[in-house]
Amino acid sequence: MAQSTYQSVVLAKRPTSLIVPGETFTVKEHKALSASDLKDGEVLVDTLYLSLDPAMRGWLNDTRSYVPPVQIGEKMRGAVIAKVLASKSAKFAEGDYVTCSTGWTEQAIAKEKELTKLEVPAGGQVTDALGVLGMTGLTAYFGLIDVGKVKAGDFVVVSGAAGATGSVVCQIAKLKGAKVLGLAGSDDKVEWLKELGCDGALNYKDPNFRAQFKEATKDLIDVFFDNVGGEILEMALSRAKAHSRFIMCGAISQYNDAKPTGPKNISMVIAMRIRMEGFIVFDYVKEFPAARRELVQWLSDGKLKRKETIVKGGLRAAEQALVALYNGINTGKLLVEVKAENANGGSRLRARDQPVYQMGFIAPVTLKRDAPGKTVLKHCLIHVGFRPNPRTNCAPACVPASMGNHKIALMEPVN
């Protein structure tokens, strides 16, 4: 049975530092869209997966940037994988899978030029369109190859190396014949980087990280691909080779800082004649097809590996998942499953149209292992039944310290 309403998430208040769940965003309810709402050349889509990306935090600031900020009351923007429900376009038919930037919404009407039909290559999967074959993979590709001018024999250091973009950077660097050191935030992520073929990998949370980093970079850095900024950038500057290339892709360590600070040793750019360059992947739109062909070939040949952290719980889980992104919850690409596909090919929304809503919360949970006395701390997505705040129609800001009468419907590891 067709649903009578759909939800979207809009910006309610600009954060000055951290995103505050239940305050920064709010959920809006709308009358469900139908084919009768379409004009010629338009398509009605049902959102299946939502991409969560570090850059999103910058879109919430009312400052000059490469795109205008999201306005108060405006739907949060973002890239999605969607399914066509109805079409008045000759280019798309009901049942087609597409990628588009319709944002944080369960349904949307888009112009045909705003959609790209999703084709899954050999060795690929649907969600690759938002990851290794999407903006994530393209960012890694153009940043390393065009901006960084990577070449065989280079020593490449990658911060945020176990993230969506960083993990692809590491692999492309190896394909180009470079020696690669990846930096990540946990021992599990370090092990994964080694599986990807990194020559070295370090946990920046290790108490001895500074000494380890100095030793690992004793031959000095040719190329630094920065996704993190802050202290890591400062350390990389101190280990830069003369005429090295610094690719400035992100600064996730400072996105939530009310007053971000720059590296104290920025003068190293002068002393070492470093070429430090930022870039935006949309600068390369005309070159996307050729880059995608190479990425597809690498993926089909088994030369590119990927991991995904998929958060279930519907659109309402997106805000909590975005908060968790800045705490390093993900390995590889972070996605929210807005709707799940039924076996018969239809779509259904997780945790909707129930008297008591279910919300996904991400929290550290101690899980018992089979071996006596063995426990492990993992971040889990906990689906909790609750009645929404009548004023905001939103979930509580966090899981209650005592669960009380809250029933845990489902708990699943997300990393």
Listing DSSP states for 52-92 in one string gives: E-TTHHHHTS-S--SSPPPPTTSBPP--EEEEEEEE--TT-
Does residue 34 sit within a domain? yes
Which residues of the chain register pLDDT less than 50? 343-415
- Same domain for 216 and 158: yes
- Same domain for 281 and 166: yes
The 3-state DSSP composition of the chain as helix, strand, coil percent (nearest 5) reads 25, 30, 45
Does residue 349 sit within a domain? yes
- Same domain for 150 and 289: yes
Q: Pick the closest to residue 157 from 245, 243, 242 (CA basis).
A: 245
Q: What is the pLDDT of residue 263?
A: 93
pTM of the complete model: 0.82
Q: What is the pLDDT of residue 69?
A: 96
Does residue 186 sit within a domain? yes
Mean pLDDT of the chain: 86
- Cβ–Cβ under 8 Å, residues 383 and 403: no
HEC per residue, 242-298: EEEEEEECCCHHHCCCCCCCCCCCCCHHHHCCCEEEECCHHHHHHHHHHHHHHHHHH
Q: What is the pLDDT of residue 369?
A: 38
- Same domain for 315 and 292: no
Does residue 399 sit within a domain? no
Does residue 392 sit within a domain? no
- Same domain for 93 and 78: yes
Q: Which of 332, 355, 378 is the last residue of a domain?
A: 355
Does residue 370 sit within a domain? no
For residue 212, what are the domain limits?
A: 135-300
- Same domain for 311 and 194: no
For 313, list phi and psi in degrees, rounded to 5: 130, 5
Does residue 42 sit within a domain? yes
Does residue 93 sit within a domain? yes
- Same domain for 165 and 237: yes
Beta pairing class for 240-248 and 339-341? unpaired
For residue 113, give the CATH number of its domain.
3.90.180.10
Residue-wise pLDDT tens digits, 303-359: 999 999 999 999 999 999 999 999 999 999 999 999 987 533 444 333 332 222 233
- Cβ–Cβ under 8 Å, residues 195 and 218: no
Q: What is the pLDDT of residue 1?
A: 55
Residue-wise pLDDT tens digits, 203-222: 999 999 999 999 999 999 99
For residue 154, give the CATH number of its domain.
3.40.50.720
Looking at the 3D structure of the chain, how many domains does it have?
A: 2
Which structure tokens are listed for 240? Answer: 């830069």
- Same domain for 210 and 67: no
- Same domain for 198 and 145: yes
Q: What is the pLDDT of residue 257?
A: 84
